[in-house]
């Protein structure tokens, strides 16, 4: 059963080498909620502050907020990329992060090798990866390039490979930053269908976007972030919080 719980999660990033009295520090603190470490004098940007959420199977959570509000940090915490400075995160079920599909792609490895690597990172068995590899290869349309190092790919080819991989492995929790759209018109059309299938099959969806229309269409509940904290919600309130 899919479950994703955040309990009083705070994330802080120390900024070394920034003087506490500098204009840059003052502006950063005002814009992002940064603060000065009391004991060390080190500038600390507080990206998230005491965020609590509890999501279960069937939940579709939209995340909104201005640039710098903490949306991307929240998604990365949910995906396990950033550990919380304080608080804790509980995940039950497999997680697929579409925040940056190309994250984790090894440029010196071939396309085929990257299919294996990304699948193993996501917790997929070798047997299942082997079964899905022909389907991923066909969907990507990269043909013989899959046997070549990814460093030889164009940006478009890299994104086609990454998208084909991450949308092929089913997950209990899907985390997205905006709606993915890559490649030419024909690939985008096929990609939209595949993405829709992935979302319909997942237990929990977390989607950050600047588009109210997209959020209203895809999500059953919405939280709004400001300076790293949840300031508003609508729809079915996420259990545990704000």
Summarised one tens digit per residue, pLDDT across range 136-173 is: 999 999 999 999 999 999 999 999 999 999 899 889 99
CA separation for the pair 24, 49 (Å, rounded)? 22
- Tens digits of per-residue pLDDT, 22-46? 545 555 555 555 454 545 567 788 8
The parent domain of residue 68 ranges over 3-94+206-235
Q: Is position 42 within any domain? A: yes
Q: Is position 45 within any domain? A: yes
Closest-CA residue to 163 (of 183, 134, 145)? 183
Q: Is position 187 within any domain? A: no
Confidence of residue 184 (pLDDT cuts 50, 70, 90): confident
* CATH code, domain carrying 45: 3.40.50.300
CA separation for the pair 91, 222 (Å, rounded)? 20
Total of domains in the chain: 1
Closest-CA residue to 111 (of 34, 163, 66, 39)? 163
Say whether pLDDT at 51 is over 60.
yes
Q: Is position 88 within any domain? A: yes
Q: Is position 13 within any domain? A: yes
Q: What is the pLDDT of residue 135?
A: 96
Say whether pLDDT at 94 is over 70.
yes
Stretch 93-98: mean pLDDT: 90
Q: Is position 177 within any domain? A: no
Q: Is position 44 within any domain? A: yes
Q: What is the pLDDT of residue 63?
A: 96
Enumerate residues 6+ apart whose C-beta is below 8 A from 127: none
Q: Is position 211 within any domain? A: yes
Neighbours of 141 (CB within 10 A): 17
């Amino acid at each position: 059963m899919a479950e994703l719980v955040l309990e009083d999660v705070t994330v802080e990033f120390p900024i070394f080498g920034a003087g506490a009295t500098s204009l840059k520090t003052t502006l950063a603190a005002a814009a992002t909620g940064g603060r000065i470490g009391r004991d060390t004098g080190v500038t600390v940007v507080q990206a998230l502050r005491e965020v609590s959420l509890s999501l279960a199977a069937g939940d579709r959570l939209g995340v909104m907020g201005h640039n710098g509000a903490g949306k991307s940090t929240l998604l990365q915490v949910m995906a396990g990329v950033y550990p919380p400075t304080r608080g804790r995160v509980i995940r039950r079920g497999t997680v697929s992060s579409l925040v940056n599909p190309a994250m984790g792609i090894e440029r010196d490895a071939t396309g085929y090798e990257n299919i294996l690597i990304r699948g193993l990172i996501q917790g997929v068995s070798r047997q299942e990866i082997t079964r899905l590899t022909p389907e991923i290869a066909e969907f990507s349309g990269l043909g013989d390039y899959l046997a070549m190092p990814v460093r030889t790919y164009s940006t478009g080819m890299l994104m086609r490979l990454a998208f084909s991989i991450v949308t092929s492995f089913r997950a209990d929790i899907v985390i997205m930053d905006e709606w993915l759209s890559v490649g030419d018109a024909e690939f985008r059309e096929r990609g939209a269908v595949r993405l829709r299938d992935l979302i319909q099959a997942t237990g929990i969806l977390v989607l950050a976007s600047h588009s109210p229309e997209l959020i209203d269409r895809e999500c059953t509940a919405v939280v709004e972030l400001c300076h790293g904290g949840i300031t508003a919600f609508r729809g079915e309130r996420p259990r545990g919080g704000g």
